[in-house]
Each structure stands twice: as structure tokens, then as C-alpha cells.
Amino acid sequence: MTDSIQKYEQKHLDGVITKVQEAIAKSSKDAKKAETDSKSIDKNFSNEVRINTSTYSGMMDTAISVRQQQQLLSERQNSWQHASQQLNVLKRLEKRPYFARIDFHEAGEKSDETIYIGLGSFSDTPDHFLIYDWRAPISSVYYDGELGNVSYETPDGTQEVDVKLKRQFTIEDGKIVTVFDTNETIGDQMLLKALGNSSDTKMKSIVSTIQKEQNKIIRDTHSDLLFVQGAAGSGKTAAILQRVAYLLYRYRGNLTASQVIMFSPNQIFNDYVDQVLPELGEHNMVQMTYYQFTKRRIPNMEVETLQQRFESRTDSVSKKIRTLENSLVYFDAVTKYAEHLGSADMKFRNLMFHDKPFASQEKIQGIYYGYNENYRLGNRLDATKEALLKSLNSRIGSEVRSKWAEQAVQSLNHEDLEKLYGGEPKEFDDSDKEFKFLARKLVIQALQPVRNAIVHNRFLNINAQYVHFLRSVPHLINLEKAGLTQADWQTYVEEVVASLKNHAISLNNTSAYLYLYDLIVGKKDERDMRYVFIDEIQDYTAFQLAYLKYNYPRAKFTLLGDLNQSIYSNESTSTLLAELSTMFDKEKTRVIQLEKSYRSTQQITDFTKEILKNGEAIEAFHREGDLPVVSVKPSFDLAVKRVQAQMSQNQKDGESTAIIGKSVAECQKITEGLRNQGERVTLIKTENQRLAEGVVVVPSYLAKGLEFDAVIVWDASDAMYHDEDERQLLYTICSRAMHRLTIVATEKMSRLLDRIDSSLYKLD
Ligand SMILES: Nc1ncnc2c1ncn2[C@@H]1O[C@H](COP(=O)(O)OP(=O)(O)OP(=O)(O)O)[C@@H](O)[C@H]1O
């Protein structure tokens, strides 16, 4: 780029920065003023507010005056919040106001227009924008097209412009470091630079280098289901985080971050991505794992953890049972079973009072089925509760006259009496009235647990109901079609019953259990949630997705995944896509395929995609690095030494290292081996840990979605990986590496690597 352009742009930049600084000065003043104002309102509160409670109109005056002060205070606080938010954006812009410029000509306009694009918009006068937000409609042109005619979407429809120039900047602390013009979508040069950076414990935003395909994902507003299938490292996660920021901008005022929820594979991942939105000036959305989503609703049960799910090796019958439970057929069976409960088979518990049934199961059943068949389950339950509460209220009178109440009143001591009177001395006409007052209070207290049990549905016997559902499955589903016999199923049901007794439940059963419960109580679903994002969709089952859809009926779904990265090899994902397509309206479904992989060097991507049998579609981004190294050592000790040598090499080269093992047990072995040699490493055993600086040892299922400068695959021996269905797991592990990949094995290399051409790696 010529010096004159650089000079010209630096001058322009200086001008913009001066204006931003002026705005900062003004905004700081505004923020200070709003802050002092609200403080002084607070201080003057007692002086200003006239407290007069002697007359009715005096009380009204006081209330109005308090209300006025409160209103003033909240207005000031709002303007203070607004001013300090504004200030934050401006401070960010001061360092790096923008990253791109486009010149274009809009049909019907006399002259060309030039705009600069940055993290937020900035104008010096109301209609004069010096910087456009990257999410503004026109900014799309920068990401979408080459030079020439390009169209872009606005809330009013499609517009077309003739793009004449696209210029990119790297700006650091107010100085232009590089500037170049490009006629490609986003020049490779800038992307190369971004991708060459080291990994971090926190993911970063990608707004200056969003790719065309990713831009489609980010700006989609039409689809009810947006399904993104993308290779490892193709930027699925990056794209959806920018998508959340985009949606919050596009629907500002109508959409808040609390109406957006993201389901992520594990807690470490949540932690990894939690800086992206704040970096973009937005609040984080709600983030949860599926485990957390279910676990919070059944705190008394041990729900199967990620580790248990990953490590459960199953025989062929259990595999078939899992496949069945994961399916939509099973989801429909729960729905059908619940419909049947409208006419029979609801299981209740006695509601007990003083060791006797206040309402027996039979009585409750009578009430429940006393309503006509048009009642839906939820309404039936509500009506039953109402009837039970009514009968509870009418019970108060008879209990007041009971022997136990009389005795209870007589044995009240002074302190108890004080409590019952609520601290205020009471005058009674006669002792009979006083007795009745006290007895009534005592009876209401004594009946409170029954009232709570009614209000909280404790008269439902949900465990027995669930087991009854399981026993009914052979009538609801053709087991033979699932390759199962009645006896297989019965044995399985007995296992579930035994584990429920121990308060333990598998993740599959948890979903069905909760869905059944929701259908029975007519759960008020979370209608407020507008966007649901699910990352690593291949690790979900069709049942879970259907259940999430049932929970968020008004939300639009964005699902991201890579069918090549299904790590739960005991579960089949092949049918997931087919089942998914039946859940959403085809007209409102959009599928986007991302084939280019940005995370890893060309050498690493070329190697890892060969692990898969159908990996041809994955395209490497041209970023050069070393060939992956495969190192097979004859013993554990020598293999540990090899890992050690690699760790110190990586450290010398400034590459942060993750050692990824298959399971926690493998990770423990290598950690111990290394510690015995005096190495310091952090072992990540559970998803509640945080990623630490330095070398980390991580089991495969917790490394999902993450990336590291250098990865050492621990023990890729044949003994460890030999089943065909473990290819995807090995692929997932290897594809975590950005710049360097070392595969260490003991005795014999895994046969899953046999098919890789020897020119794609180095043996040592
Ligand atoms: N347009 C882009 N500009 C700069 N960096 C990008 C871009 N797209 C992706 N990346 C980077 O590539 C890496 C991989 O992206 P990301 O983690 O989003 O991929 P993914 O598809 O979710 O991968 P996986 O399925 O393996 O978890 C990240 O470091 C991300 O910042």
C-alpha cells in the first residue's frame, strides 16, 4: 500500500479519534452529573419528603412525594447507566475506531459514499456517522461480496449498491499498523494474521474477519430452524456468538440477552466463550448445559454425568435400548401415554394429616377423574388442587373443635401465645372467643404441610407413574422393530426401578421423566425465550431436541454441529438429522454447510480429515505449519519422556500445550507419570474446573469445542483406539490443535491411523 494512502488514512483516523475523545470528555461529564444528581436525590430524600401520617390526605401527600422522588432517582440512575455504557463504547472506539472502509455508489444518488465500519456506531452530529456499527445493514456489504454490484438486506427490503473500494485496517492504539485494499470477500491476509495468534483461555470476537458463509448465519432472521453443519474449526461457535450480538442489535428494545439461551457441551466451554459478547459491548445470554437444564428440576436425584455417559460401554441390547429411548418414536410414546392418563391410570399418594389420610389416593383419584373428558391433564390437575384446597379449608372448622386442638391450646406457654398474637395484645369478649381464635391459628399451622403438599403436587406419585409408563412401553411401541424382546425390556425396567430407589437416573430417563411430569402438570412453558442456540448438536438425541422444542415453543432455533464429531460412540447419530427434519416446518428451515476449517494449519487439517472415512468435504485454510508427528514408544516410561520432551519444545516455541486423553483414567495416568518426572501440569477432571495457564491434561469429552496452540494426543495406541466407531472421537481430539499436533502411542499405533498417507505426517 502506498505511503500516501497510509498518510491519508492516518490523518482521517486522527480526526475521528479527536472527535471520539471530545465525545468521551462530554460523556464523562454527563455520567458524573447523572451520578452526582442521583446521589444528591438520595441524600435529600429525607429533607424533601414530607412525612405526614396523621390524616388520610397527609398520607396521600407523603406517598406521592415518595413516589416522585423515587421516579426522579430511577430516571437519573437510568441516564447514569446509559451515560456510562456510552462511555465504555467510546473508550473502546478510541483505541481502535474501525477496521474497514467501503466506498460505494447507491442507485439514484449523485455521488459515491464512504463509510468506516467498527465495533459500534459513532456520529458527531445526529445524522453524520463517522463509524458504522458492524451490524448495521450496510456493513453486510463488507462481509458479503466482492467489488461491483452487491445486494444487502434492510428491514425495508433488499437494496443494491455498486461497491468500488474495500479497505482493511489493523489499528493499534490509534495508529494504523497495516492498511490494504482487497477485492475478495475478506482478504486472506487479515484472516491469516488473526488465525496465526496464540490460543487463549477465552475465545475472542471475529467481527473484523467474518467470512461470507458465516455472515449468512449471523444475519439470518427468517428461519425458525437454522441448522449449521460445519467441520471442526469452521467457526460455528464463533459465528453464533456474533449472531447473538447481531440479534440483540437488530431487535434492540424488543429483545434482551435474557431471552436468548445457549446450550453448550460442558461448563468449561461456557467459561471459554463468556468474554465474546461483553467484548462486543453486549450482555451475555443465558448459558446452560443439558445436564444443568434437567438437574436443576430434580435436585434429589443423581443424574448421569458427562463422564458416566461417555464411559458407559454397552452391550448390544443396551445399545438398542438407548437408541430407542433417544428416538422420536419414544417421545411420541410418552405423549400418547399422557393422553391415556386423561381417562385412567394416574398414580396418587395419600395426603396425610396426623398420621391419617386427609385425602386417600382413591379419594383424589375420584376427584381427578370426576371432571369430564374434555379437561386437559394440566387443567384436570389444577381443578383437583382447587377441590383439595377447598376441602382443606372446610376441614379447619371441624379440627378447631377437635380434642387435639383443645389440648394444644391448653398447653400453650407465654412465648407461644405471644407468637400467635403476633406481638399485639388482643382483646376478646369472652374466653370462648379467645379459645377459638387460638385454636384456629394452631389448626391452620398444623394443616400448612398438607396445604404445601397440595400446592406443590406432592400427591402425585411421579416415580410410580414413570415406572408405570416404562411397563406400558410394550403396548405403546413395537419393540420388535427396535430389535428388542419383551424380556429384554422387562429386565431393563427392573434395573431402572432399582436405580430410582437409589435416587439415580440416566440422562435418557431424565428427559422422559421430566417430559411426562410436564405433560401431567401442564407446565407453563418458557414462552419468553425467543432464541435457542444448541452447540455440538451431534451429542444430543432426537428426544432431547424434541423436549427442548416443547419447552421453548415460541423460540427460533439455531443448531450447530458436526456429525463427524459425535463422541458418544455408544449412541447413534445417523438418524438425528432425519428426525430433526420432521420437527420443523420445511419452509422455515435453512441448512448452511461450512466446509473450510480455520482453526488448524493446513498440515493439521489435511492429516485429521484423513482419520475420517468421509472427510473429503473438509477444506483446509492455507496456513502453513509443521507436519503432525506420530511417535510410538515401546513402554509407558519412554512415552512419558516423549511427552515431556514435546512439552518443553512447545514451551520454548511459545506454544501453549494441552494433553488430551481418552478418559479421565488415561489422563490420570499421564498426569502421574509427568508429575513423577517433576513436571507441573493441571489435570482437568470435571467440567466445573476452569482452564488454567500452563500445560493442561484434559479428557476428550471435556475438550469439546475448545482449542489449543499445541495438542499432544495421549496414548493413541491400538489398545486404546481400535473400534471403527472411535474414529470420530480421535478426529475430535486431533482437531483441537491450532499450530502443532503430536500423537504419542505406546507399543503399537492405533489402526484407525493406518489409512492416513505417510506423507501427511512425520514418524519419530
Ligand atoms: N472468520 C473468522 N475470523 C477469524 N477467526 C475465525 C473465523 N472463523 C473462525 N475463526 C477461528 O477459528 C477457530 C475455530 O472456530 P470455532 O471454535 O468457532 O469452530 P467450531 O466450528 O465451533 O469448531 P468445533 O466444531 O471444532 O468446536 C477459533 O479460534 C475462531 O476464532
Beta strand ranges found along 91-240 (DSSP E)? 100-106, 113-118, 122-125, 128-133, 148-154, 157-172, 175-181, 225-230
Whether 145 lines ligand 1, by a CB cut-off of 6 Å, is no
Confidence of residue 321 (pLDDT cuts 50, 70, 90): very high
Consult the annotation and say whether 175 binds a ligand.
Answer: no
Residue pair 49/58 in contact (Cβ under 8 Å)? The answer is no
For residue range 717-735, list pLDDT tens digits in order: 999 999 888 898 999 999 9
Of 270, 248, 293, 275, whose CA–CA distance to 510 is shortest? 293
Q: Are residues 69 and 148 in the same domain?
A: yes
Q: How far apart are CA 451 and CA 457, in angstroms?
A: 10
Residue 233 CA to ligand 1 center (angstroms) comes to 5
Q: Is 522 left (phi over 0), alpha (psi -120 to 50) or beta?
A: left
Q: Are residues 283 and 371 in the same domain?
A: no
Boundary-marking domain end, from 558, 576, 596:
596
Average pLDDT on 608-627 reads 87
Residue 608 is assigned to a structural domain of this protein: yes
Residue with CA at minimum distance from ligand 1 atom 1: 210
Q: Are residues 587 and 615 in the same domain?
A: no
Q: Are residues 49 and 120 in the same domain?
A: yes
Q: Does position 251 have pLDDT exceeding 50, yes or no?
A: yes
Residue 321 is assigned to a structural domain of this protein: no
Q: How far apart are CA 719 and CA 66, in angstroms?
A: 75
The gap from C-alpha 451 to its chain's centroid, in whole angstroms, comes to: 36
CA-only gyration radius of the chain, Å: 33
Q: Does position 523 have pLDDT exceeding 80, yes or no?
A: no
Lowest mean pLDDT among 235-239, 544-548, 565-569: 565-569
Residue 89 CA to ligand 1 center (angstroms) comes to 25
Burial degree of 629 (CB within 10 A; 0-12, 13-18, 19+)? middle
Q: Are residues 590 and 635 in the same domain?
A: no
All three cell numbers of 42: 438520595
Maximum mean pLDDT: which of 81-85, 227-231, 389-393: 389-393
Residue 273 CA to ligand 1 center (angstroms) comes to 12
Whether 735 lines ligand 1, by a CB cut-off of 6 Å, is yes
How many CB atoms are closer than 10 A to CB 47?
Answer: 7
Q: How far apart are CA 165 and CA 182, in angstroms?
A: 8
Consult the annotation and say whether 561 binds a ligand.
Answer: no
Boundary-marking domain end, from 596, 611, 631:
596
Confidence of residue 134 (pLDDT cuts 50, 70, 90): very high
- Strands 122-125, 128-133: pairing kind: antiparallel
Q: How far apart are CA 141 and CA 716, in angstroms?
A: 46
Q: E strand or H helix at 414, and its extent?
A: helix 414-421
pLDDT of residue 39: 64
Whether 477 lines ligand 1, by a CB cut-off of 6 Å, is no
Whether 600 lines ligand 1, by a CB cut-off of 6 Å, is no
Residue 466 is assigned to a structural domain of this protein: no
Q: Does position 629 have pLDDT exceeding 70, yes or no?
A: yes
All three cell numbers of 744: 504419542
Q: Are residues 263 and 195 in the same domain?
A: no
Residue 236 CA to ligand 1 center (angstroms) comes to 6
Q: Does position 144 have pLDDT exceeding 70, yes or no?
A: yes
Consult the annotation and say whether 233 binds a ligand.
Answer: yes
Whether 236 lines ligand 1, by a CB cut-off of 6 Å, is yes
Sheet with strand 531-534: strands edge to edge: 286-288, 260-263, 531-534, 556-561, 225-230, 589-594
Ligand 1 atom nearest the C-alpha of 536 is 25
Out of 134, 142, 195, give the residue to mutate to test ligand 1, the one with the largest number of ligand atoms within 8 Å of its CB.
Answer: 195
Whether 205 lines ligand 1, by a CB cut-off of 6 Å, is no
Residue 289 is assigned to a structural domain of this protein: yes
Instruction: Decide which of 29 and 736 is more confident.
Output: 736
Residue with CA at minimum distance from ligand 1 atom 4: 206
Residue 604 CA to ligand 1 center (angstroms) comes to 15
Ligand 1 atom nearest the C-alpha of 706 is 27
Residue pair 543/331 in contact (Cβ under 8 Å)? The answer is yes
Whether 732 lines ligand 1, by a CB cut-off of 6 Å, is no
Q: Are residues 442 and 369 in the same domain?
A: yes
Helices (H), 614-688: 636-652, 664-676
Boundary-marking domain end, from 147, 164, 199:
199
% of the chain surpassing 70 pLDDT: 89
Q: Does position 112 have pLDDT exceeding 90, yes or no?
A: yes
Residue pair 89/281 in contact (Cβ under 8 Å)? The answer is yes
Q: Are residues 557 and 651 in the same domain?
A: no
Q: How far apart are CA 749 and CA 760, in angstroms?
A: 15
Q: Does position 61 have pLDDT exceeding 70, yes or no?
A: no
Collapse the DSSP code of 300 into the 3-class scheme (helix H, G, I; strand E, B; otherwise coil) and give the result.
Answer: coil
| Torsion angle of the four alpha carbons 354, 360, 361, 362, in this order, in degrees rounded to the nearest 10 | 170
With vertex at residue 311, the alpha carbon angle to CA 307 and CA 312, rounded to the nearest 5 degrees, is 115
Whether 562 lines ligand 1, by a CB cut-off of 6 Å, is yes
Q: Does position 570 have pLDDT exceeding 50, yes or no?
A: no
Residue pair 658/695 in contact (Cβ under 8 Å)? The answer is yes
All three cell numbers of 64: 406521592
Consult the annotation and say whether 366 binds a ligand.
Answer: no
Residue 758 CA to ligand 1 center (angstroms) comes to 28
- Strands 629-633, 657-661: pairing kind: unpaired
Confidence of residue 40 (pLDDT cuts 50, 70, 90): low
Confidence of residue 75 (pLDDT cuts 50, 70, 90): low
Q: Does position 186 have pLDDT exceeding 70, yes or no?
A: no
Q: Does position 567 have pLDDT exceeding 60, yes or no?
A: no
Whether 168 lines ligand 1, by a CB cut-off of 6 Å, is no
Q: How far apart are CA 693 and CA 711, in angstroms?
A: 14
Consult the annotation and say whether 499 binds a ligand.
Answer: no
Instruction: Decide which of 65 and 84 is more confident.
Output: 84
With vertex at residue 532, the alpha carbon angle to CA 527 and CA 536, rounded to the nearest 5 degrees, is 150
All three cell numbers of 508: 435418557
Q: Supply φ then ψ for residue 65, to 5 degrees.
A: -65, -40
Q: Are residues 528 and 393 in the same domain?
A: no
Lowest mean pLDDT among 63-77, 120-134, 410-424: 63-77
User: What is the domain-level CATH number for residue 712?
Assistant: 3.40.50.300
Q: Does position 449 have pLDDT exceeding 50, yes or no?
A: yes
Q: Are residues 723 and 671 in the same domain?
A: yes
Structural domain count, the chain: 4
Whether 234 lines ligand 1, by a CB cut-off of 6 Å, is yes
Residue with CA at minimum distance from ligand 1 atom 12: 599
Exposure string (b/e) for 31-44, b if CB count within 10 Å is 16 or more?
Answer: beebbebbeebeee
Q: Are residues 558 and 619 in the same domain?
A: no
Longest dimension (CA), the chain: 103
Q: Does position 183 have pLDDT exceeding 90, yes or no?
A: no
% of the chain surpassing 90 pLDDT: 51
All three cell numbers of 316: 448390544
Burial degree of 304 (CB within 10 A; 0-12, 13-18, 19+)? buried
Instruction: Decide which of 413 and 76 is more confident.
Output: 413
| Residue count (the chain) | 764
Q: Are residues 214 and 165 in the same domain?
A: no
Whether 214 lines ligand 1, by a CB cut-off of 6 Å, is yes
pLDDT of residue 47: 57
Residue with CA at minimum distance from ligand 1 atom 18: 235
pTM greater than the 0.90 cutoff: no
Maximum mean pLDDT: which of 55-59, 278-282, 314-318, 488-492: 488-492
Packing angle of the helix pair 636-652, 664-676 (nearest 10 deg): 80
Residue pair 203/535 in contact (Cβ under 8 Å)? The answer is no
N- to C-terminal Cα distance for the chain? 44
State the residue range of the domain holding 293.
208-303+524-596
Q: How far apart are CA 206 and CA 279, in angstroms?
A: 11
Ligand 1 atom nearest the C-alpha of 204 is 31
Ligand 1 atom nearest the C-alpha of 561 is 25
Residue 467 is assigned to a structural domain of this protein: no
- The ipTM (two decimal places) reads 0.98
Ligand 1 atom nearest the C-alpha of 705 is 27
Whether 237 lines ligand 1, by a CB cut-off of 6 Å, is yes
Q: How far apart are CA 709 and CA 705, in angstroms?
A: 14
Out of 214, 707, 729, 741, give the residue to mutate to test ligand 1, the one with the largest number of ligand atoms within 8 Å of its CB.
Answer: 707
Confidence of residue 54 (pLDDT cuts 50, 70, 90): low
Collapse the DSSP code of 102 into the 3-class scheme (helix H, G, I; strand E, B; otherwise coil) and give the result.
Answer: strand
Ligand 1 atom nearest the C-alpha of 208 is 3
Maximum mean pLDDT: which of 48-62, 156-170, 562-576, 640-654: 640-654
Residue 421 is assigned to a structural domain of this protein: yes
Residue 576 is assigned to a structural domain of this protein: yes
Burial degree of 363 (CB within 10 A; 0-12, 13-18, 19+)? middle
Instruction: Decide which of 296 and 546 is more confident.
Output: 546
All three cell numbers of 540: 444430543
The gap from C-alpha 529 to its chain's centroid, in whole angstroms, comes to: 13
Residue 167 CA to ligand 1 center (angstroms) comes to 23
Instruction: Decide which of 61 and 434 is more confident.
Output: 434
Q: Does position 179 have pLDDT exceeding 70, yes or no?
A: yes
Residue 279 CA to ligand 1 center (angstroms) comes to 16
pLDDT of residue 214: 93
Residue with CA at minimum distance from ligand 1 atom 27: 705
Q: How far apart are CA 325 and CA 506, in angstroms?
A: 11
Q: List, as own/partner pairs, every contact residues 158-165 make where C-beta atoms lie below 8 angstroms and the sequence separation is at least 24, other chains included.
A: 159/106, 160/107, 161/104, 161/105, 161/106, 161/107, 162/104, 162/105, 162/106, 162/107, 163/102, 163/103, 163/104, 164/103, 164/104, 164/105, 164/112, 165/101, 165/102, 165/103, 165/114
Of 465, 500, 484, whose CA–CA distance to 304 is shortest? 500
Residue with CA at minimum distance from ligand 1 atom 29: 599
Average pLDDT of the chain to the nearest whole number: 87
Residue 598 CA to ligand 1 center (angstroms) comes to 6
Lowest mean pLDDT among 2-11, 114-123, 184-193, 194-203: 184-193
Consult the annotation and say whether 120 binds a ligand.
Answer: no
- Measured CA to CA in angstroms, residue 63 lies from 40, 74, 476, 627 at distances of 20, 16, 63, 76
Residue 14 is assigned to a structural domain of this protein: yes
Whether 707 lines ligand 1, by a CB cut-off of 6 Å, is yes
